[in-house]
A and B are shown apart, each in its own frame.
Chain A
Amino acid sequence: MLRYLLSRLITFVPTFIGVTLISFAFIRVLPGDPIIVMAGERGLTQERYEELVQRFGFDQPLWQQFWDYLTGVVQGDLGNSFVTNRPVWDEFFTLFPATLELSLCAIIFAMVLGIPAGVIAAVYRGKFFDRALMSTALVGYSMPIFWWALLLIIVFSGWLGWTPVSGRIGLLYYFDDVTGFMLIDSLLSGQDGAFGSAVQHLILPSIVLGTIPLAVIARQTRSAMLEVLSEDYIRTARAKGLSSGRVNGLHALRNAMIPVITVIGLSVGTLMAGAILTETIFSWPGIGKWMVDSIFRRDYPVVQGGLLLIALIVMLVNLTVDVLYGLINPKIRKR
């Protein structure tokens, strides 16, 4: 096990350096002088320009710049935003809980609907129910989620007036961040209706962000269940006279869950990409919207830092999934 863990870590290091190199290169391959581009129409005095050149280290040789960047990254220093002048690291981790909360709700939504749907489809294989569920899953899988978000807004916010269109909580409520999770903070604040408002704001974005993972989970659960249901031990369980609910629910589902959990773990990338679109549409103050806004503001240190941190999070989750998978399934370890 230790050897497996070590070998996984060893492949992690070059990827980490490579990802750092890409985000390092990002600001330097921009056409034109990055400082002038970032300053935009505002313009710069000669003194300010030289000061910035020095601050970004553009007067150093390239390898020195990369070394400084890499050591900075390891110490959690990603430079400062060009617009707000706050450290990129701080900005990221102030906004990250919002994205994490949204992603968690989305994945819970996807699991709660997707796993039962997949199990039912597998048990009633080839029947009407199976076909209907799997067709729906394919539609969900093909969904342009930015459009799906707008449709839901038309129906639930426009026609029915049930849910708000943007933000995380109603303007009536104000309280300090404690955990950064609006659901928990609103409860802690003790204000009447604050929690309800937070839930209402979360519903549509979670559905939108959870749609593609939902389709993926349903399809994966179905095919994993089908595979397990044809195994000998299931036949044995049936032959013993166990009820079909017990066989399907306990014996089969348990063994079918391994690939499903892997798929859930590996959907972090999808969630992060989806968060960019979902947060932009619902004005959700998370890192997806922050990245898009920064690209439009030409705040390149932020884009650079965000790119790196998001890639690192995706890599760390994938690594964890890999290691856990090896822990559960010794066959993988041996390869």
Chain B
Amino acid sequence: MADASSQIARTVPTRRPSRFKEFWRYFSENRGAVIGFWVFLAVFLVAVFADLLAPYDPAAQFRQHALQPPFWQSGGTWEFPLGTDALGRDMLSRLIHGARFSFFVGVVVVVVAATGGILIGLIAGFAPKWLDTIIMRLMDIILAFPSLLLALALVAILGPSLLNAMIAIALVLQPHYVRLTRASVINERTKDYVISAQVAGAGLPRLMFKTVLPNCLAPIIVQAALSFSTAILDAAALGFLGMGAQPPTPEWGTMLADAREFVLRAWWVITLPGLAILVTVLSINLMGDGLRDALDPKLKRS
């Protein structure tokens, strides 16, 4: 008997699980999200260690091997496992280095858009009504334009480059954060804990950043995951239209644009960069679904 009870004591945790553990429990309930997480991690590691992993310099041209197919097709060799492009550059090396650009774009865009958006959203949530109205009307104006079109026009003003594409995409994505933050701030502001903090003499900055913001973060984190994938997709689309990263940058969208004329001759120069974009974006979206379930039970889709 004593044996059994001590066994129960050993298996049943006596303390409340840590926040991370609790998060992971909900997150791992969603199998797709876990797969997404591991794929995302793999792409991330590829991006970090691109220099070590890539067999060649992504810009090195082997002219005598131009448009060589992948190894499993006749004419392909293990020398270039995924074939070469029209200038004889190794596809595998270019794809590996491309992961860097996509991550870079995703991280920078999300950080810029989220920081700006959260700040403006907090201000709008706490501001007097007239300022709130002005801010929200401004956001409505930005949202009236289809995002890719506005980004395209902005890049036309700033000049085509990866940096300008990132600025444009961040600007276009920002209103979503503003709306989300403002909505949750307004929801939280009238709650008792905020009023008691106010009564206790907390200043406005403390009230905004320490009291209210941490309680608004869940939907914002989910939005961050979703806009990470939007940023990668839009940057690739701009690259594809010739308005993002410029050749010879091994950015996946730009690679697709370069390869367009070989669409009916060399399937691998088309298929592989797009597949890389799809896998990365899909893994992030899978993760985003899991994050939403774990962080924001209110939004949980049945």
Binary interface profile of B, 38-58, with partner A (CB < 8 Å = 1, else 0)? 000000000000000000000
Residue from A26, A157, A276, A296 within 8 A of B157 (CB atoms): A26
Residue from A18, A143, A157 within 8 A of B141 (CB atoms): A18
CA distance A280 to B240 in the complex (A): 10
Contact B260 A150 (CB under 8 A): yes
Pick from B146, B264, B281 the residue with the most CB of A within 10 Å. B146
- Give the number of chain A interface residues (Cβ < 8 Å): 48
CA distance A158 to B262 in the complex (A): 11
Q: Cβ of A310: which chain B residues have Cβ within 8 Å of it?
A: 145-146, 149
Given A147-B270, A291-B149, A295-B243, answer yes or no on A19-B144 (Cβ-Cβ < 8 Å).
yes
Contact A154 B263 (CB under 8 A): yes
Does B152 belong to the interface (CB within 8 Å)? yes
Contact A223 B256 (CB under 8 A): no
Q: Cβ of A31: which chain B residues have Cβ within 8 Å of it?
A: 157, 159
Given A276-B152, A315-B144, answer yes or no on A144-B260 (Cβ-Cβ < 8 Å).
no
Q: Cβ of B302: which chain A residues have Cβ within 8 Å of it?
A: 223, 226-227, 230
Residue from B157, B271, B273 within 8 A of A29 (CB atoms): B157
CA distance A310 to B301 in the complex (A): 33
Contact A276 B148 (CB under 8 A): yes
Q: Cβ of A324: which chain B residues have Cβ within 8 Å of it?
A: none
Residue from A15, A146, A153, A315 within 8 A of B240 (CB atoms): A146
- Closest-by-CB residue of B relative to A139 is B282
Given A138-B286, A295-B156, A315-B144, answer yes or no on A273-B271 (Cβ-Cβ < 8 Å).
no
Q: Cβ of A157: which chain B residues have Cβ within 8 Å of it?
A: 264
Binary interface profile of A, 266-294, with partner B (CB < 8 Å = 1, else 0)? 00011011001100100000000001100
Does A237 belong to the interface (CB within 8 Å)? no
Contact B145 A307 (CB under 8 A): yes
Contact B240 A151 (CB under 8 A): no
Does B210 belong to the interface (CB within 8 Å)? no
Chain B residues 240-299 with CB under 8 Å of chain A are: 240-243, 253, 256, 260, 263-264, 267, 270-271, 273-274, 277-278, 281-282, 284-286, 289
Q: Cβ of B273: which chain A residues have Cβ within 8 Å of it?
A: 147
CA distance A82 to B256 in the complex (A): 31
Q: Cβ of B278: which chain A residues have Cβ within 8 Å of it?
A: 139, 142-144, 147
Contact B237 A19 (CB under 8 A): no
Does B161 belong to the interface (CB within 8 Å)? no
Chain A residues 1-59 with CB under 8 Å of chain B are: 11, 14-15, 18-19, 22, 26, 29-31
- Give the number of chain B interface residues (Cβ < 8 Å): 45
Q: Is the interface of A mostly helix, strand, loop or mixed?
A: helix
Binary interface profile of B, 208-251, with partner A (CB < 8 Å = 1, else 0)? 00000000000000000000010001001100111100000000
Given A15-B141, A150-B263, A269-B146, answer yes or no on A307-B237 (Cβ-Cβ < 8 Å).
no
Q: Cβ of B146: which chain A residues have Cβ within 8 Å of it?
A: 269-270, 272-273, 276, 310-311, 314
Does A169 belong to the interface (CB within 8 Å)? no
Query: Shortest Cβ distance from A119 into chain B, in angstroms?
Result: 15
Query: Shortest Cβ distance from B161 into chain A, in angstroms?
Result: 13
Does B116 belong to the interface (CB within 8 Å)? no
Does B61 belong to the interface (CB within 8 Å)? no
Does B88 belong to the interface (CB within 8 Å)? no
Q: Cβ of B285: which chain A residues have Cβ within 8 Å of it?
A: 138, 141-142
Contact A276 B149 (CB under 8 A): yes
Does A135 belong to the interface (CB within 8 Å)? yes
Contact A314 B144 (CB under 8 A): yes
Does B206 belong to the interface (CB within 8 Å)? no
Q: Cβ of A270: which chain B residues have Cβ within 8 Å of it?
A: 146
Contact B144 A144 (CB under 8 A): no
Does A303 belong to the interface (CB within 8 Å)? yes
Given A158-B263, A158-B264, A273-B146, answer yes or no on A151-B274 (Cβ-Cβ < 8 Å).
yes
Does B87 belong to the interface (CB within 8 Å)? no
- Having A19-B144, A295-B156, one finds 19 other A-B pairs with CB under 8 Å, namely A31-B157, A31-B159, A135-B32, A138-B285, A142-B229, A144-B233, A144-B281, A146-B236, A147-B270, A147-B273, A147-B274, A147-B278, A151-B274, A226-B302, A277-B241, A280-B241, A295-B152, A295-B243, A311-B144
- List 26 A-B residue pairs with CB atoms under 8 Å apart, sorted by A's residue number: A15-B140, A26-B153, A138-B289, A139-B278, A139-B282, A142-B281, A143-B278, A146-B236, A146-B237, A146-B240, A146-B256, A147-B273, A147-B274, A150-B274, A154-B267, A154-B271, A157-B264, A273-B147, A276-B146, A291-B152, A295-B156, A296-B242, A307-B150, A310-B145, A311-B146, A314-B145
Q: Which 6 A-B pairs have the closest CB atoms?
A: A147-B274, A18-B141, A273-B148, A273-B146, A142-B281, A142-B282
